Amino acid sequence: MSYTGPDFDPPQPRRSRRGPLTVALAALVPGALLGWAVYAAVGGPADDGGSAHATATGSPSARTPSPGGASPTGTPDDDRGPSASPTATAPSPSASAPAGSGPLKGKVVVIDPGHNPGNARHTGEINRQVDIGTHRKECDTTGTATNDGYAEAEFTLDVAHRMRAILREQGATVKLTQDADRPFGPCVDERARIGNEANADAVVSIHADGSGAGNRGFHVILPGSVRAGAADTRAIVGPSRELGERIAGNFVRVTGSAPSNYVGGGTGLVTREDLGGLNLSTVPKVFIECGNMRDSKDAALLTSGAWRQKAAQGISEGIVSFLRG
């Protein structure tokens, strides 16, 4: 996700070395900073992809930037980047997955993979202005990409597919806002509407940032309190923060990634009032920027299939923790 525009739809565990107490602490973190401190204290992994978790534990525990450049403002937008074939792409089940019999039976999760791979071929359509409550902005953006051309839109779909498989095993009904099954979009207002109409118990928008080299780490974007036009987030601010905190803590624990060193003050949490995907949501929703595609060290993680599995696992475990209370 780019940090150039006002409305982006979005910025190795070694379990044998962590005992039950560590997992419990990670589940209770009020923010990613404490989760990172706990993880580092028990010897978290370095920057390699490492082996991935197989299943969720159920622990309670944009304006379009230049595809090859960093966003001018260093703040997230809605989508970015040229398309490239992902490595180690996860299997892609149907867009709306049936519920199973696990602990999340009866729960509905909407996963919003930021930036359709086809957006770059439909710039006229995605530049169309839509109403996000506080103002009007572009329908969508193309997203960013690594220096080697791995597109954010490919990354987000891959992580979304992995999350869908994990959450289905937990019994949830899972819906994707798009699965590269449409020429472009959906627009940011429609992305919000999909979650609302599904009466989702949780919505997570998946992104990767396009900030400057040296800016590293993940951050979770929370909705601010907005009441303007069609936007009224007051009812979802509290539960969305809880969802975001649980995702941040579990993301740290599972991936070993640190919270962002350039936004969020080291907490891994950022509140924004200018994103249509959040402003128009009536159900708990957050964005996660899993890392910075324009930094070579973060890019090495984002292009690793093993690390993407861990990212999907960490986000999913945060969702499971939130939905189980």
What does the block give as tokens for 114?
């930021």
Does any domain span residue 135?
yes
Does any domain span residue 3?
no
User: Are the C-beta atoms of 318 and 202 separated by less than 8 Å?
Assistant: no
How distant, in Å, are the alpha carbons of 5, 60, 256, 269, 292 from that of 52? 34, 20, 12, 24, 20
Does any domain span residue 279?
yes
Say if residue 82's pLDDT is above 70. Answer: no
The mean per-residue pLDDT over the stretch 111-137 comes to 97
pLDDT at site 226: 97
Contacts 24+ apart (CB under 8 A), 212-215: 212/70, 212/74, 212/294, 212/295, 213/70, 213/294, 213/295, 213/296, 214/295, 215/74, 215/260, 215/261, 215/262, 215/292, 215/294, 215/295
DSSP 136-162: EEES---B-B-TT--BHHHHHHHHHHH
- Overall domain count for the chain: 1
Does any domain span residue 183?
yes
Torsion of CA 131, 218, 299, 184, to 10 degrees: -20
d(CA 206, CA 160): 7
pLDDT at site 290: 98
Say if residue 113's pLDDT is above 90. Answer: yes
Does any domain span residue 10?
no
Does any domain span residue 9?
no
Q: What angle do CA 189, 145, 320 make, to 5 degrees?
A: 55
d(CA 191, CA 159): 17
Q: What is the CATH number of the domain that holds 229?
A: 3.40.630.40
17: CB partners within 8 A, 6+ apart: 42, 43
pLDDT at site 101: 80
pLDDT at site 62: 33
Residue whose pair of structure tokens reads 């400057």 in the numeric block: 212
| Strand order through the sheet with 219-223 | 96-97, 173-176, 108-113, 202-209, 285-292, 219-223, 269-272
What does the block give as tokens for 299?
């890019």
**Confidence grade of residue 59 (pLDDT, cut at 50, 70, 90):** very low
**Confidence grade of residue 189 (pLDDT, cut at 50, 70, 90):** very high
* The one-letter amino acid at 292: N
What is the extent of the structural domain holding 230?
A: 15-324
Backbone angles phi, psi at 143, to 5 degrees: 90, 175
User: Are the C-beta atoms of 318 and 58 separated by less than 8 Å?
Assistant: no
Pairing of strands 108-113, 173-176: parallel
Does any domain span residue 117?
yes
Say if residue 302's pLDDT is above 90. Answer: yes
Query: How confident is the model over 195-227, as pLDDT tens digits?
Result: 999 999 999 999 999 999 999 999 999 999 999
Which residues are 222's β-sheet partners?
271
d(CA 296, CA 315): 23
Backbone angles phi, psi at 305, to 5 degrees: -60, -35
Which runs of E-coded beta strand occur in the chain?
96-97, 108-113, 129-131, 136-138, 173-176, 202-209, 219-223, 227-228, 231-232, 269-272, 285-292
Query: How confident is the model over 91-106, as pLDDT tens digits?
Result: 443 345 555 689 999 9
Does any domain span residue 8?
no
